[in-house]
Amino acid sequence: MFARSRSQCPRLSGSLHFVRRSASTQISNAAVNAIVSSAGSEGAFATRGSGPLAGVTVAVKDNICTKSLPTTCSSRILENFTSPFDATVVSLLSTGGAAIVGKANCDEFGMGSLNVHSVHGPVVNPVGLQDGVPVERRSAGGSSGGSAAAVAAGFCDAALGTDTGGSVRLPASYCGVVGLKPSYGIISRWGVVSFADSLDCVGVLAKDVSTVRRVHNAIAKYDERDPTAAPPHVRALASQLCMQRAAEITATDLKGLRIGVPRDYFPKELQPSVIESLQKTLDQLRARGATVVPVTLPSTPYALSAYYVISSAEASSNLARYDGVEYGLRVEPPPGANLNKTANVYAHSRTRGFGEEVKRRILLGTYALSADAFENYFLQAQRVRNLIKADFNRVFWAPNALKVDASTNATRTEGVDVIIHPSAIRTAPPLPDAQHGASAETGSLDAYVQDVMTVPASLAGLPALSVPAGSGSDAWPIGVSVVGQWGFDEMVLKVGEVIESCQAGGP
């Protein structure tokens, strides 16, 4: 499978070899399968111009349109597709001076948590490499597994991923890098292939928070071509409120920062070492003056089911455009087939063009939108989504929650500035031996459970940052997530930076 797709993609050189710039070990792309089409070794590290991203090398997830490289969404149905235009985020990267090194592998159309559903083959987590050779094959997470692996392997300084229900944060956690899912509507989705429009966000991955911030700030611009973009006045107001709160935080003094730890984020599947890492992180933040309080988000147990109903319903509608007629793979029906011709082309093209996971979601989503199921599934899931948003709004600080303490006359706040929870229930699960083969974690319902920590913030459209926070008993990376109120992206970055400095043993 991999050999076939490489030969069909002329820009992916068989000898593609990136230099891991931070270490002497060279990792080849063949070992991790992170980059599916490359801008070539000359383009890879070129510095373009003098903008805010001059000198920054970036890999772009393969569901984001680029006119100079194919955009396959890791699907057979788009295997030979090259977009006639660049997505807004790609144009912003280029005008900012970044060099795009290539397109990153992902789960097909962003559907998956382990990057095993890809026509290009699975991504191998670079953490399991020794001297460039995989000694332990584990998942890089999904769906932006190629983006996370490319950063972890040192192929680029940063990568763009997309996050619908955790697709940036989960791979970041498994690969030991930083990943930001921004507030919904803050980064343009124009030119990003839709999976579930009400949830999809473009996010940034890098080895440190400051690089994530640098790339995020360069691409988080209002774009009138994206109808779901947050309007300028809403951004301005949120940013002003955020800056007021964030200004009080310094790396060594977190007095005034209130952190909520949701009691509902400790499912039985959580590995003990994940809980230990979280506790250690919270202790470090407490030692710097933060107040840590328990909070409850009672609708959390229903989030995963609601997410899979809503995202599949939207996917079934979005993916209807791949019909073998306008663009993408076309498979002619065999002679003598007895359906009418057009329906036959649709059926054959879609049956061959989509992978199993995508077909499963289309079927589930189509059912959820059918007359029989609409009320019980789709509308019910939307109600759950509203409850989840209400849960978050109840625990977060809001301007009207400023209270004057009558006895001291000091202002104090109700609510919390951020919520912190584990990014994933475990460290990276093992990859199955053969592509699409099942292992306990990658081939069953357990694959969906990987998202249990990340989907609530997606349903509520909130910014969430996964930051490395030590390692498990198996020595694989663990991440913790910082979630903020809508528009408080800088707040989560700032708190993430403090966690990062605690990890480094900083002041």
Q: Which residues are catalytic?
A: 61, 143, 167
Task: Please report, as a single letter, which amino acid is at residue 385.
Answer: R
Instruction: Check the CA dihedral 316-462-421-398 and report its sign.
Output: negative
Between 12 and 319, CB nearer to ligand ASN = 319
Among 74, 125, 143, 349, binds ligand ASN (CB under 6 A): 143
> 317 near 365, Cβ under 8 Å?
yes
Binding residues for ligand ASN restricted to 201-240, rule: CB under 6 A: none
Per-residue three-class SS string for 250-267:
CCCCCCCCEEEEEHHHCC
3-class SS shares of the chain: helix, strand, coil, % to 5? 35, 15, 45
Segment contacting ligand ASN (CB under 6 A): 92-100, 110-118, 222-230, 270-278?
Answer: 110-118
Stretch that binds ligand ASN, among 36-44, 162-170, 186-194, 427-435 (CB under 6 A): 162-170
Consecutive H or E run containing 119 = none
111 touches ligand ASN (CB under 6 A)? yes
Buried b (16+ CB within 10 A) or exposed e, 106-124: bbbbbbbbbbbbbbbbbbb
Q: Which of 154, 157, 107, 148 is nearest to 125 (CA)?
A: 148
Nearer to ligand ASN by Cβ, of 324 and 432: the residue is 432
> Which residue lies nearest ligand ASN, judged by its C-beta?
167
Using the minimum distance from each CB to ligand ASN, give the nearer residue, 404 or 445.
445
Nearer to ligand ASN, 12 or 111 (CB): 111
Spatial neighbors of 307 by CB under 8 A, at least 6 apart, are: 165, 199, 381, 451, 455, 458, 459
Q: Which positions from 445 through 464 interact with ligand ASN, judged by CB under 6 A?
A: 451
In the complex, the smallest distance separating the C-beta of residue 422 from ligand ASN, rounded to whole angstroms, is 16
CB of 445 to ligand ASN, least distance (A): 13
Q: The tokens 């670079």 sit on which residue?
A: 126
236: Cβ–Cβ under 8 A, 6 or more apart, which residues? none
Nearer CB in complex with ligand ASN: 284/454: 454
For the segment 276-335, give every residue that binds ligand ASN (CB under 6 A).
Answer: 311
Question: What is the dihedral sign for C-alpha 212, 214, 216, 219?
Answer: negative
Structure-token match 């399991």, residue found:
128
- Of the candidates 163, 314, 490, 500, which one interacts with ligand ASN according to CB under 6 A? 163
Q: Is 164 in the site for ligand ASN (CB under 6 A)?
A: yes
**Closest distance between ligand ASN and the C-beta of residue 432, in Å?**
17
Nearer to ligand ASN, 139 or 311 (CB): 311
Beta bridge partners of 49: none
Q: Which stretch binds ligand ASN (CB under 6 A): 106-114, 295-303, 406-414, 426-434?
A: 106-114
Q: Binder to ligand ASN among 96, 112, 121, 484 (CB under 6 A)?
A: 112
Does residue 62 touch ligand ASN according to CB under 6 A? no
**Which of 126, 128, 146, 166 is close enough to bind ligand ASN by CB under 6 A?**
166
Backbone angles phi, psi at 359, to 5 degrees: -65, -40
Helix (H) or strand (E) holding 358: helix 356-368
Residue 423 contacts ligand ASN per CB under 6 A? no
- The nearest distance, CB 501 to ligand ASN, in angstroms, is 28
Q: How many residues make contact with ligand ASN (CB under 6 A)?
A: 12
Q: Are strands 158-163 and 57-61 parallel, antiparallel or unpaired?
A: parallel
Closest approach, Cβ 31 to ligand ASN, in A, equals 24
Q: What are phi and psi of 291, to 5 degrees?
A: -100, 125
113 binds ligand ASN (CB under 6 A): yes
CA distance 452 to 460: 14
Stretch that binds ligand ASN, among 6-14, 40-48, 157-165, 496-504 (CB under 6 A): 157-165
Residue that is written with structure tokens 């932006």 in the block: 144
Residue with Cβ nearer ligand ASN (128 or 161):
161
What is the C-alpha separation between 364 and 358, in angstroms, rounded? 10
Residues near ligand ASN (CB under 6 A) are 110-113, 143, 163-167, 311, 451
